Structures are given as structure tokens and as C-alpha cells.
Amino acid sequence: MTPAVISLGPGRAPARRMASLAATGRLLRLELKRNVVPYVLPLLAAVFYFDTFRTADGFPPVWTVRASVIGDHMLFEFCAFAGGMAAWAGSRERRRKALDLVASTPRAVWARLSVTLAGTLGWLLLAFLAGVAAIYIPTALQATWGGPPLWPVFAGAAGVIVVTIIGFACGVFFPGRFTAPLVAIGLLVLYQAGFREALGVTASPGTDALLSPASAVPAVDAGVYHHVAPDVPITQVMFMGGIAVALLGVLALAAALRQRAPARDRISWRGWPARGDNWLLRTVAVVLVAAGVAASSTAYSLAGTAKLTATGWEIPALHDAARDRPVPFVPDCRSAPGGFQVCVHPAFSGYLGDVAAALDPVAAEIAGLPGAAVRAEQVASVGTWPHGYGPSHTAGNPPVLEYSGEEVGDLFGVFWGIPAGAGPDWRAGFQQGLLDPFLSEPPHSAAAARTGPAPLGAAQQAVEDALMAAAGSPPPLRIGQHGHSGGPSQAQITAAASRFASLPASARHAWLAAHLAALRAGTITAAQIP
Amino acid sequence: MIATAAALRPAPARTAGAGRAGVRLAWLHVRSRRVPAGILALALCGGALRAALHWHWAFSSGPYAQQIPMIIEAGAAAVVTVTSHSPFGETERATGRWLPYLRLFAAAGMCGLAIALLQLGAAGESLNEGILVLARNVTGITGIGLLCSLVTGGLLAWTLPLGYLAFCQYALLQGWTAPWTWPVRPPADRGAWICACAVFTAGLLLFTIRGPRTRLSDEE
């Protein structure tokens, strides 16, 4: 008898394993079929459409910007539903008073819980990936440059996984009718609190707020001129993954303890770790808890070392300096008949026509005059939201107007929104961005040039208004220039602008050529303008 | 004569007995709905609101300032709606005519208690938009939850309030002014009050008359 058993053992083991796998597969199929998540998917889809999809649709078709909604909006919705639904699934055995019933089945507690968790997580991840596809497919059709960033997807998926496992663990440990809504609400509060911290994160100590998957909206050209460093998403994935792994271990340990509980009176606790049954499960559970805690602690420590650079947040231990090189590109340019050239980054080529239509008329008015820009070129925006971005400026010889996708003149959020939405104010903002540095005193240093032109005087304002009126634009909105104390009133400036605008273009050009230096120096008054 | 006297004399005792029975019935009703645990959960929400305001988890001004209070208010409303679930299911409906009244007073009472406990939690702290918006949010979202309970049953009645909450987060940031997005409207907005009260009234009435959907598989 014994030799037979011994001889048959090795042959039967693979078959037993196959049968066990097949049974697990059947169980998982049943779980996927019976799981409650699909019933909530229509509601989740509706919320996703109104919040995430519409928000992404309002952003310019730049990959990094569109992908930012995954952490900022999509994860919020998944926090609510994934956490609550997972808690609901985790408390199922208790809720249906089936604990005694399932305890008599050959499946271990851990195996049963794993299948329930896998089914819930499977549905939620499927919904998450479908949501990502709903964002990325239209972006792929609209974007003119770049490719889909994957790290926001990984961080988002890690967020969904950790939220699901937290909810599931709460459902297992605290089964009750209030668990699911309270878990959902708790996770939402946690998410929002993390978001608040992430918005206010600075380079000073306290950069651990970078672990929050929700953060400030990136600059419109993020990831366009320089690669977005994956340092922060890596720490986020490590942190959330660590929590998820540790909770899995806790669930496995709890399952092992629950299985062991009836035998508490017969076996001493001292011998528990060495006990034959389920020793592998217990060992794996302890390893999971230790690995998860280690990963999360490491990620927390790494986030504390983050530094803010021109290209974004960097974590020295993870940073790859080779990725700091600018991304090569060939700008999209268009030349006007007068020779003025407008260039945009190919990621924003949809805006080229609007920018050229805005700048060409005023560029023609000042063409050939000293200090007049011969080209307008988009450059990388410098700065962060909400602290502000660097202003546009004219630099070089021949002069070139350098503007960013975030700011030109007094116009902010230049390339936010869909092309062809350019209104009169938008055009006026670009024209002001070109004329302000032309009409003001040239900066005396490169550093001064990058701070933008000085505020215009009354005569300079009148000339600017006239040139813009000649180009068919309204007078620009002047931030911080609401009249001149002791100088001419706004009515006098408007009258001077009207006079100058009514002159023929050649007369305006000739007057400017003759009086430009005095105008820039501020020695000409509004009354002296013809 | 003996029969008449017998019929007249025990009357006061019967009234007292009926009163005791009514109290006992109400107590059994709220216990079967886990109302005591629900009150504890509401107190937890009040504590969370206090902690959020005290430690500045939320923004102090701007559209973001309303987010965390709104989440907690929706959570309190979800707790109220979850107490609508009955463990007895269909059989309870055949037990007498008092069930709709019990449902009405339990739901309305829990809603009032939720507002009171949240207000208690916010006392002494600077709550964005004040108690009026808090009361309006809890009332309206409870109405949504009670309506949801007619379809999903009490235990899953928290899903629609959370969906509405997620939508309102978007409406808040986009500055929507539609009255049916009452959580994002100012305290004195009449349309928002009308919408929130209408939803609550409709939810409470239908819940009182029909009761939540019952399924045996959802027994707790």
C-alpha cells in the first residue's frame, strides 16, 4: 500500500494541480459573473463621462495634459466606487450569513477571498482601462505630436488596486451595512486631503505630498520640450503597491488565523509558526507584509528627497539624467507676405493659423522698424501652476518674440482649449505681446529681457491701441495699468489712438520711423501723436 | 351590567399598554435597521468633519473649499439611506399598518440627526457656506439615496448618492449654476433649496409608501 502511494504520488501531483487550477478558473468565472461591480458600471460610466471625459475633452490635445485627468479626476471616481464595491464584496460571506456554509467547503479562506478579490479587481481594472482608452483614443486622433504616456496609467492602476484592496480588507475585517459607504467616503476624504497637500507642495521639506496621485494640472507644454521624468510616478506606484501588497499579506494572515482559530485550545501559540498545515501560506503572508511595508517606507523616504527643477520634480535616487536632454523637434512655421514668420511647436500646430492671423497684421505695421520682431517663436513655458509662468519677451538680433503656450503679453493660458476658438481678445493678447516689447525701452540685460517689458506710458499705449485698431482688434486689457497719475486721462489716450489709427498705414509707419526712439524713451506725449 | 363594567374599566390600562407597545415597536424597528450603529456612523462623520476643518484638510476658500465638507455630508446621507434596509424582507409588510409610519419617522429622524451631528462636528470651526448648505446637502442627497433604495435595496442605496457627489465635484469646479446641482449653489439660492427639498420629499414619500426593494440574498 505504501509503495503504491509513493510510486503514484509524483504522477498524480501534476494532474491534481491542473484540476485545482481548473477549479480556480471556474470559481473565478463564477465570481466574474456574479460580481456586483458590473451593476455599478453604468453609474461609473456616467460620472466618468461628465467629469473625466469632458474635462479631458476641454484640454488641448497634448498627451501629458490629457493624461493628467487620470490621476486628477478618474481616480476620484474610482476611489468612491472601487472602495465601496470592494468593501461590499469583502463582506459578502458575512452579509449572506454563509460563513459556516463556506467553512465546510474544501477551499481555504484565503483561496475564497482571493477569488472574490480577483473578480472585483478584474472588473474594476477593466473599467479603468476602458476609461483610459476613452481618453487616449480621441487624443491619438487629435494630437499632432508625441505618444501616449504610460506612467500616469500605471500610477492610476496602482491607485485603483490599492483602493480596491483597502476596501476589500475593510469589508473582510469589519463586515456591516455601513462599511461600504464609510470606506468610500473615507477614501474620498483621503484623496482630497492628498490633493490639497499636493497643490501646495514646495521644494522645502514636506515633498512627501508628491505621493498623492492627484496633483496640479501640468503646464500646457509639459512633456513637449522635455520628457516628463518618471521619478514621481515610480514612487507613487511603489508606495501604493507596497500598501496593496502589505494588505494582501494581512488578509492572508487573517485567513490563516481564522482557519486556525477552532484549534486554539489544542495547539500552543508557540508552535504556530512551525505548524505543518498552512505554513507556506503564513510564511508567504509574512513576507508580503514585510515587503509591502518596506516598499511603502522606501517610497515615502524617496519622495522626501524630491527636488524641483526646470523640467519638473526629480528624485535623485531614481533620476536618469540622460532623459533631461531637450526633445528634438522641427517647428511648424508660416511666413507672411511681409516676411514675418510665426512658429509653433508641432504639438500645437493646430494653433499656427490662429497665431499667424493674429500677429501678421500688426507685424506688417511695424515691419522694418528698429527693434521690430521678425519672427514669433514658441518656447517652453518656465514655472509651475499656481505660482505663475514666465512672460513673453523679445530677444536676439534680429529680434524674435519668444512666447510660451501658457503666456503671451497679458494673455494667460494661451494654448488651453481647442484651436479655432480664437476670439478678438485672444488675438489682441498676441498682438499686445508683440507690440509691448517693441514700444517700450529695450531691456539693458538678458535677465531683464526675460522679466518682460516695462509698463507702457500714455503715448506708447495710444500708439499700441492705434496699431491694434488698424489690425481690427480691440484695445488690449492692461493688467496693472489703469491710468497715469498726473498724466493724460484714458479719454485723451483713446482720442490720440483714434487720430493715429485714422492715418494711412504709410503715414503711421513713417511717423514711427521718425519718432520711435523718443516714443520708447517716453519723451513724446499723447497730445503730440498726429 | 357586568359586561359593561368590564368593558369600561380596563380602558386606561389598554392605552398605557398600547403606548408601551408602540414604543417597543418603534425601538424594534430602529434596531432592526441598525439605527443605533447608524447614529454611531453619523457621529463618526461629524468627527471627520471636525477633524477636516480643524486640521485644514480642506481649502479655506474658493471652489475647492466645499469639496471635503460635501463628501462628508454625502457620507452622512449615505448612512441614513443604508439604515432603510430591513432584514425581514417581504414578510414584514404583512405585519400591520404601522410600517410606513415607522419608515417615515425613522428616515426623517435620521436625516435630522445627521444634520445635527454634522453641525455639532462643525461647531466652533469655519465651515464653508455654513450650516444652511450643510442641511440642504444632507437633505437632498438623502432624498436621492431613498429614491435609489427603491431600486437597489437599502444596502446598495449609497451608490447613487456617491455618483451624484462625484458629479457635483465636477459641477463645483466648472461653476455650474443649475439648481439641481444644489451642493454647488450658495446658501440663499432658492432654486437649489426647491430642488433639494423636492428630491427629499419625493424620496421620503415613495420610500414611506413602497419601502426599499427587498431581496433575500441581501439579508444582513
Which of B45, B57, B160 faces A193 most closely, judged by CB atoms? B57
- Residue A179 one-letter amino acid: T
In a domain, A7, yes or no: no
- The set of residues, in sequence order, having a beta carbon less than 8 Å from that of A1 and lying 6+ positions away, is none
Q: Are residues A406 and A275 in the same domain?
A: no
Task: Return the domain boundaries, chain B.
Answer: 34-214
Which among B72, B83, B169 is the nearest to A51, CB-wise? Answer: B169
Number of structural domains, chain A? 2
CB contact under 8 A, B219 and A97: yes
* Domain end point (choices A271, A301, A324): A324
Same domain, A307 and A406: no
Last residue in a domain, options A277, A299, A324: A324
Instruction: Tell me how far apart the alpha carbons of residues A80 and A73 are, in angstroms, rounded to a whole number.
Output: 11
Closest CA to A158 of A296, A334, A22, A309: A296
Of A36, A46, A88, the CB nearest to B163: A46
Do the Cβ atoms of A51 and B166 come within 8 Å?
yes
Q: What is the pLDDT along chain A (530 residues), one digit of tens a residue?
A: 344 444 445 556 778 778 878 888 898 999 999 898 999 999 999 999 999 999 999 888 999 999 999 999 999 999 889 999 999 999 988 887 777 777 777 777 788 889 999 999 999 999 999 999 999 999 999 998 889 999 999 999 999 999 999 999 999 999 989 999 999 999 999 999 888 888 876 666 567 888 988 888 888 888 888 888 899 999 999 999 999 999 999 998 887 666 555 544 443 444 444 454 577 888 888 999 999 999 999 999 999 888 888 777 888 888 888 888 888 889 999 888 878 899 999 999 888 888 888 888 888 888 888 888 888 888 888 765 555 666 777 877 888 888 888 888 777 777 886 555 567 778 888 888 888 888 887 665 555 555 666 677 778 888 888 888 888 777 766 655 545 555 677 777 888 888 888 888 888 888 888 888 888 887 877 777 78
Percentage, residues of chain B above pLDDT 70:
90
Phi, psi of B62 (to 5 degrees): 85, 180
Shortest CA distance from A193: residue in chain B? B57
Interface contact A185-B45, CB threshold 8 A: yes
A97 touches chain B (CB under 8 A): yes
- Alpha carbon distance B113, B122 (integer Å): 14
pLDDT above 90 covers what percent of chain B? 54
Q: Same structural domain for residues A145 and A215? A: yes
Q: Which of A203, A200, A201 is nearest to A307 (CA)?
A: A203
Nearest to A86 by CA among A157, A213, A184: A184
- The average confidence (pLDDT) of chain B is 86
Per-residue pLDDT at B5 exceeds 60: no
Q: Which residues does A36 contact at the CB level (< 8 Å), separation at least 6?
A: A85, A88, A89, B156
Question: Computed from CA positions of residues A136, A137, A140, A142, in that sequence, does the dihedral angle turn out positive or negative?
Answer: negative
Of A44, A80, A196, which is closest to B58 when you measure between CB atoms?
A196
Q: What is the rounded distance in angstroms from the CA atom of residue A44 to the CA atom of residue B201?
A: 26
The answer to whether residues A320 and A336 belong to one domain is no
Spell out the residues 6+ positions from residue B16 whose beta carbon is closer than 8 angstroms to its own. Answer: none
The strand pairing partners of A404, in sequence order, are A379
* Helical ranges in A211-278 per DSSP H: 231-260
Measured between beta carbons, which residues in chain A are less than 8 angstroms from residue B218?
A: 95-96
Residues A55 and A142 in one domain: yes
Question: Hey, are the CB atoms on B44 and A80 less than 8 Å from each other?
Answer: no
Pick B167's closest partner by Cβ from A51, A180, A193: A51
The predicted structure's pLDDT at residue A5: 43
If 0-12 CB within 10 Å is exposed, 13-18 middle and 19+ buried, where does residue A423 land?
Answer: exposed
Does residue A107 contact residue A116 with C-beta atoms inside 8 Å?
no
**Contact B217/A96, CB-based, under 8 Å?**
yes
Q: Which residues contact A166 (CB under 8 A, 6 or more apart)?
A: A83, A86, A183, A187, A243, A247
Nearest to B155 among A43, A73, A177 (CB): A177
The amino acid sitting at A512 is L
**Tally of CB atoms within 10 A around A112:** 18
A-B Cβ pairs (cutoff 8 Å, strict): 105
Same domain (yes/no): A221, A161: yes
Q: How many other CB atoms are found less than 10 A from the CB of residue B219?
A: 15
Q: Does a structural domain hold residue A465?
A: yes
- Look at the alpha carbons of B88, B93, B95, B98 in this order and tell me if their dihedral is positive or negative: positive
Which chain A residues are within 8 Å of B166, Cβ to Cβ?
A: 47, 51, 76-77, 80
The label of the residue with cell 505663475 reads A388
Closest CA to A103 of A313, A258, A300: A258
Phi-psi category of A413—alpha, beta or left, where left has phi over 0 and alpha has psi -120 to 50? left
Written as one letter, the residue type at B63 is: P
Instruction: Say if residue A373 is in the same domain as residue A317.
Output: no
Radius of gyration of chain A, Cα coordinates, nearest whole angstrom = 32
Does some domain include residue A8?
Answer: no
To the nearest whole Å, the CA of B23 is away from the closest chain A CA by: 25
Residues of B with CB below 8 A from A86's CB? none
Phi, psi torsion values for A377, nearest 5 degrees: -130, 135
Asked if residues A85 and A37 have their Cβ atoms less than 8 Å apart, the reply is yes
What's the whole-number average pLDDT of chain A? 82
Asked, for residue A3, whether it belongs to a domain, the answer is no
Q: What is the 3-state secondary structure (H, E, C) of A13-48?
A: HHHHHHHHHHHHHHHHHHHHHHCCHHHHHHHHHHHH
Please provide residue A411's backbone torsions phi and psi, each rounded to the nearest 5 degrees. Answer: -95, 125
Please state, in angstroms and rounded to a whole number, the distance separating the CA atoms of residues A198 and A200. 5
Nearest-neighbour CA in chain B from A244: distance (Å):
24
SS3 A375: strand
A50:B170 CB<8 A: yes
A303 with A374, same domain: the answer is: no
Q: Select from B37, B59, B166 the Cβ nearest to the Cβ of A80.
A: B166
| Tens digit of each residue's pLDDT (9 = 90 or more) over B43-62 | 999 999 999 999 888 887 77
The answer as to whether A455 is a domain residue is: yes
Residue A525: Cβ within 10 Å count: 15
Rg (CA), chain B: 20
Given an 8 Å threshold on Cβ–Cβ distance, is B38 in contact with A178? yes
Tracing cell 420629499 back to the chain, one arrives at: B201
The reply to whether A263 and A149 lie within a common domain is yes
Domain, as residue range, for A384: 332-478+489-528
A108-112, A183-187, B74-78, B113-117: segment of lowest average pLDDT: A108-112
Q: Which residue did the predictor score with more confidence, A501 or B194? A: B194
Minimal CA separation from A127 to chain B, in Å: 15
Cell of A293: 511595508
| CA A457 – CA B86 distance, rounded (Å) | 76
Compare CB distances from B166 to A47, A54, A181 and report the shortest one's residue.
A47
**Whole-angstrom distance, CA of residue B135 vs CA of residue A373:** 59
For A58, nearest residue in chain B (alpha carbons) = B174
Distance from CA of B194 to the nearest CA of A (A): 24
Show residues of chain B in contact with A184, CB under 8 Å. 75, 78, 158, 162
Whether residues A358 and A251 share a domain: the answer is: no
Please check whether residue A12 lies inside any domain of the structure. Answer: no
Beta A332-335 vs A341-344: how paired, if at all?
antiparallel
A467 and A446 part of one domain: yes
Q: Are residues A338 and A305 in the same domain?
A: no
Q: Last residue of some domain: A281, A305, A324?
A: A324
pLDDT at A430: 85
pLDDT at A445: 55
Q: Which residue has the higher pLDDT, B118 or A107?
A: B118
Q: Judge whether A279 is closer than 8 Å to chain B, CB to CB.
A: no
The candidate with the shortest Cα–Cα distance to B19, out of B27, B8, B7, B31, is B27
Q: Assess whether pLDDT exceeds 90 at residue B130.
A: no
Burial class (CB in 10 A: 0-12, 13-18, 19+), A111: middle
Distance CA A470, CA B95 (A): 85
Residue of chain A minimizing CA distance to B170: A51
Q: Which residue of B has its CA nearest to A93?
A: B220
B165 neighbourhood in chain A, CB within 8 Å: 80, 188
